[in-house]
Amino acid sequence: MASNNDYMPWGEAPQWDWSEEGITDQHGLHRFMDRYSHSHRMQRPKIYDNILTAIGDSPLVKLHKIPERFGVECNVYVKPELFNSGGSIKDRVALKMIETAEAQRRLKPGMTIIEPTSGNTGIGLALVAAVKGYKCIIVMPDNMSKEKADLMHALGVKIVRTPAVPYADPDSHVNLAFRMQKQIPGSIVLNQYLNCANPLTHYEGTGNEILDALNENVDMIVAGVGTGGTITGVAKKCKNVNPNCIIVGADPIGKPDEKNYHLEVEGIHPKDGMPVVLDTSFIDEWIKVSDKDVFTTARQMIQEEGILCGGSSGCAIWAAMQAAKKNARIAWLSCLTALGTI
């Protein structure tokens, strides 16, 4: 078996080199794509060649009732990633990881994609694999929602469940995925936990979209932290343009210094420590959020703003409201939301 640091979400940070051209990892240079730059804005066509074209370029939506409820006076915008084909921000990561592996010739027709995930990345991979014709096996803990598994089944993937144990446990979904990869010829684990395509897709796409929509007037970004790819990529892009932009990580109570604390919110609470994809140097503030506040806020978003969202979004919104109240100079605040189960 490979050592933990070969594929685990903790340990030494991956050796990536960011430059003006792109990001370089052990597989070579991944050049930034012009279609995501301000001068080459990706415009949605009237007719899509396939459903993958609907991934990315989600709108910003201004909140009205939620800021009023919390006594927040600044402009608050959310980026509802439910507009992506599979309904979450992880569609971006799934598509980017697959396209990157194809470009590197590590993923070829007829191969099988195996991925350990808490759910949404699995949905994204299942969707992309269906369109591109790959077989797909998703390995996920048994405490993740049945609805996510049902959706992946509908997309034609094989679901393998594991006990909800720490990553280092031999029975964890991460360890099992890599054991399966050794046993199944022609298979690959893209490994969102250590894949540079994870933060890269948010640097190229998500962050650029926020800056473009707000004419670069962004004072604060708030996001939940799971693998760390979203907040790292968005933060790096936004701070390149506005170094004074405040980056806030929404942190569910119970991670990682409170490992025995039970959490209901799915997908943004690694149990074993800070994920190595996460670059904490970009994060200016952490805000702890309880399960109660997570799900209360998510339901308020649905009932008062009409935005269908789940626990990870409720976590980001609640943290955003607290951060905005503490920072009086904030005028333009953006937080990320995704479709999820309540």
- Regarding whether 304 and 273 lie in a shared domain, the answer is yes
| Per-residue confidence (pLDDT) for residue 33, from 0 to 100 | 74
| Per-residue confidence (pLDDT) for residue 119, from 0 to 100 | 81
End position of a domain, from candidates 189, 208, 224 = 189
This prediction has a pTM of 0.85
Contact 284, 44 (CB under 8 A): no
* Range with the poorest average pLDDT among 7-11, 54-58, 121-125, 164-168: 7-11
pLDDT tens per residue, range 250-262: 988 864 444 434 3
What CATH number should be reported for the domain holding residue 111?
A: 3.40.50.1100
| CA dihedral of 166, 170, 175, 181, whole degrees rounded to 10 | -160
- Regarding whether 202 and 96 lie in a shared domain, the answer is no
Dist CA 139 CA 118 (whole Å) = 8
Q: Is residue 1 part of a domain?
A: no
- Regarding whether 320 and 180 lie in a shared domain, the answer is no
Average pLDDT of span 110-117 = 97
Q: Is the pLDDT of residue 31 over 80?
A: no
pLDDT tens per residue, range 203-242: 999 999 999 999 999 999 999 998 899 999 999 999 999 9
Q: Is residue 13 part of a domain?
A: no
- Regarding whether 269 and 224 lie in a shared domain, the answer is yes
Cβ atoms within 10 Å of 300's Cβ, excluding its own? 17
- Regarding whether 208 and 67 lie in a shared domain, the answer is yes
- Give the CA count within 13 Å in the CB-facing half-sphere of 301: 34
Q: How far is CA 150 from CA 117, 118, 141, 154, in A?
A: 15, 14, 14, 6
Dist CA 296 CA 148 (whole Å) = 21
Q: Can you give the chain as a three-state secondary structure string? A: CCCHHHCCCCCCCCCCEECCCEEEECCEEEECCHHHCHHHCCCCCCCCCCHHHHCCCCCCEECCHHHHHHCCCCEEEEEEHHHCCCCCCHHHHHHHHHHHHHHCCCCCCCCEEEEECCCHHHHHHHHHHHHHCCEEEEEEECCCCHHHHHHHHHCCCEEEEECCCCCCCCCCHHHHHHHHHHHCCCEEECCCCCCCHHHHHHHHHHHHHHHHHCCCCCCEEEEECCCCHHHHHHHHHHHHHCCCCEEEEEEECCCCCCCCCCCCCCCCCCCCCCCCCCCHHHCCEEEEECHHHHHHHHHHHHHHHCCCCCHHHHHHHHHHHHHHHHCCCCCEEEEEECCCCC
Q: Which residue has the tokens 């340990």?
A: 11
- Regarding whether 81 and 218 lie in a shared domain, the answer is yes
Residue 308, exposed/middle/buried by CB under 10 A (0-12, 13-18, 19+)? Answer: middle
- Regarding whether 280 and 233 lie in a shared domain, the answer is yes
End position of a domain, from candidates 189, 213, 246 = 189
End position of a domain, from candidates 189, 209, 227 = 189
| Per-residue confidence (pLDDT) for residue 43, from 0 to 100 | 65
- Regarding whether 249 and 161 lie in a shared domain, the answer is no
pLDDT tens per residue, range 277-288: 889 999 999 999
- Regarding whether 182 and 289 lie in a shared domain, the answer is no
| Per-residue confidence (pLDDT) for residue 51, from 0 to 100 | 96
Instruction: Provide the annotated active-site residues.
Output: 90
| Per-residue confidence (pLDDT) for residue 37, from 0 to 100 | 47
| Per-residue confidence (pLDDT) for residue 328, from 0 to 100 | 66
Q: Is residue 329 part of a domain?
A: yes
Contact 291, 266 (CB under 8 A): no
- Regarding whether 127 and 58 lie in a shared domain, the answer is no
Q: How far is CA 238 from CA 17, 279, 325, in A?
A: 18, 14, 21
Dist CA 24 CA 150 (whole Å) = 37
User: Apex CA 10: angle with CA 108 and CA 260, to 5°?
Assistant: 125
The range of the structural domain enclosing residue 57 comes to 51-88+196-334
- Regarding whether 266 and 291 lie in a shared domain, the answer is yes
Contact 152, 146 (CB under 8 A): no
Q: Is the pLDDT of residue 183 over 90?
A: yes
Q: Is residue 34 part of a domain?
A: no
The tokens describing 124, both together, are: 């994204």
Q: Is residue 69 part of a domain?
A: yes
Cβ atoms within 10 Å of 326's Cβ, excluding its own? 11
In sequence order, the 6+-apart residues with CB closer than 8 A to the CB of 281 are none
- Regarding whether 259 and 327 lie in a shared domain, the answer is yes
Rg value, the chain, Cα: 19
Q: Is residue 238 part of a domain?
A: yes
- Number of structural domains the chain divides into: 2
The tokens describing 114, both together, are: 């195996």
User: Apex CA 322: angle with CA 56 and CA 267, to 5°?
Assistant: 45
**% of the chain at pLDDT higher than 90:** 66
